[in-house]
Chain A
């Protein structure tokens, strides 16, 4: 597979999973054509062709081959464009740690945060406690590093994009507060540094549009 072959990305404007891929493409200076998918309304023939198994975005199309699952795509980009700005460390142990924490964010943290904000009122306290505990693990892992990746944005930072940008807006839309500067000073500072990066900033969906989307899509389902 040639670096010069055309890159297309099937994505969803508000999705943190879709945005992970865009962030990495922008960080590495890889040109690509973005195609917005109407995932909830009308999936395109292209999407069904290139991700027949899950029928979800993001899907990266490189030449005529496709890759699905955001973190798999990120590793593919890392392996294919071996230029500057590595996202993963070179050392096998450090790589294993990066993959572990990215998986932790994916499997546990995001779901816990989402359930805490949009779940039933009766479960609220328990879910908020659980999500807070999960965030504490990340706070500890971040420590005094500028980013999870060290001095530059890495695999875990990309995986944690939901926490860096979306979480604040979900908290605003749902009225549920889990991450505050008081409770999570390191994560708070990290999220500010993360979204301040020019390539990341370029990829982020507009705040008000997201908040409005959350309120309409999930707010009505919430019992208050």
Chain B
């Protein structure tokens, strides 16, 4: 029996990008459904994620998996025959989960402030954001990917934000490259992968989206 895989998503979401990349890496055929999260969430979304009512939602043979990092782990465990995303070694796996947790706790909230705040709060956010990226860059070191030679879990958890970097920089009026050049090289390297190129939106589109959000919130 063939698997039925549906992904409920919203195209600018760096969380949804993770799940898409994982599915693409595994060569899983899936149906993509765009959700109008701002105005009109589908009955399916509300049914499949009643707790948070958020995307992405992965529906595998009718059963929902919510939360993007959990989805990537799930995809790795179900379609285990190809392109392993998490390391086999328990310690390496724990490190990957630790850094995924770090990214989850820090990057989104701080990144958002670079376009949603102003004045002192913005200045503080920009400094913090660069520090967060520098910490990640330090963890990357001289490795091609966070996990080493192979593209994997931590790369997947972080790379979606790369499509938002131009928006952060434009609206926050700062530059990531000077202090994070190695991380930018990593980003470009990841973009050369088909799974990533297919899953990330163009930065100009993200900038347009942020502009609309700013108008909507009066920021």
Bind each other: yes
Binding site for B on A (CB under 8 A): 1, 53, 62, 65, 67-69, 72-73, 75-76, 79-80, 92-93, 95-96, 99-100, 103-104, 137
CB contact between B77 and one of A92, A100, A104 (< 8 Å): that residue:
A92
B135 adjacent to chain A (CB < 8 Å)? yes
Asked if residues A93 and B65 are in contact (CB atoms below 8 Å), the reply is yes
A126 to B104, CA, bound (A): 27
Asked if residues B101 and A99 are in contact (CB atoms below 8 Å), the reply is no
Asked if residues A72 and B97 are in contact (CB atoms below 8 Å), the reply is yes
A166 to B1, CA, bound (A): 47
B197 adjacent to chain A (CB < 8 Å)? no
Within 8 A of A (CB), among B44-102: 51, 60, 63, 65-67, 70-71, 73-74, 77-78, 89-91, 93-95, 97-98, 101-102
Across-interface contacts of A62 in B (CB, < 8 A): 91
Asked if residues B73 and A99 are in contact (CB atoms below 8 Å), the reply is yes
Min CB distance B86 to A, Å, is: 10
Across-interface contacts of B95 in A (CB, < 8 A): 67
Across-interface contacts of B71 in A (CB, < 8 A): 96
Across-interface contacts of A93 in B (CB, < 8 A): 60, 63, 65, 74
Across-interface contacts of B63 in A (CB, < 8 A): 93
Min CB distance B176 to A, Å, is: 20
Q: Total interface residues on B, using CB and 8 Å?
A: 23
Known: A1-B89, A67-B91, A72-B98. 4 other contacts (CB 8 A): A80-B90, A96-B65, A96-B71, A103-B67
Given A93-B60, A96-B65, A100-B70, decide whether A53 and B91 contact each other with a Cβ distance below 8 A. Answer: no
Can you list 25 pairs linking A and B with CB atoms under 8 Å apart? Answer: A1-B89, A1-B90, A67-B91, A67-B94, A67-B95, A69-B97, A72-B94, A73-B94, A76-B90, A76-B91, A79-B93, A80-B90, A92-B74, A93-B63, A93-B74, A96-B65, A96-B71, A96-B74, A99-B73, A100-B65, A100-B66, A100-B67, A100-B70, A103-B70, A104-B51
Across-interface contacts of B90 in A (CB, < 8 A): 1, 76, 79-80
Asked if residues A65 and B97 are in contact (CB atoms below 8 Å), the reply is no
Asked if residues B91 and A65 are in contact (CB atoms below 8 Å), the reply is yes
Asked if residues A69 and B66 are in contact (CB atoms below 8 Å), the reply is no
Min CB distance A69 to B, Å, is: 5
A1 to B93, CA, bound (A): 12
Q: Is the interface of B mostly helix, strand, loop or mixed?
A: helix
Min CB distance A35 to B, Å, is: 19
Min CB distance A138 to B, Å, is: 10
Min CB distance A67 to B, Å, is: 5
A80 to B90, CA, bound (A): 6
Within 8 A of A (CB), among B127-158: 135
Across-interface contacts of B78 in A (CB, < 8 A): 92
A67 to B93, CA, bound (A): 10
Min CB distance A166 to B, Å, is: 22
Given A92-B77, A93-B65, decide whether A69 and B70 contact each other with a Cβ distance below 8 A. Answer: no
Across-interface contacts of A76 in B (CB, < 8 A): 90-91, 93-94
Asked if residues A137 and B51 are in contact (CB atoms below 8 Å), the reply is yes
Given A1-B91, A100-B66, decide whether A53 and B73 contact each other with a Cβ distance below 8 A. Answer: no
A68 to B135, CA, bound (A): 16
Nearest first, the 4 closest Cβ-Cβ pairs linking A and B are A79-B90, A92-B77, A76-B94, A96-B74
Across-interface contacts of B60 in A (CB, < 8 A): 93
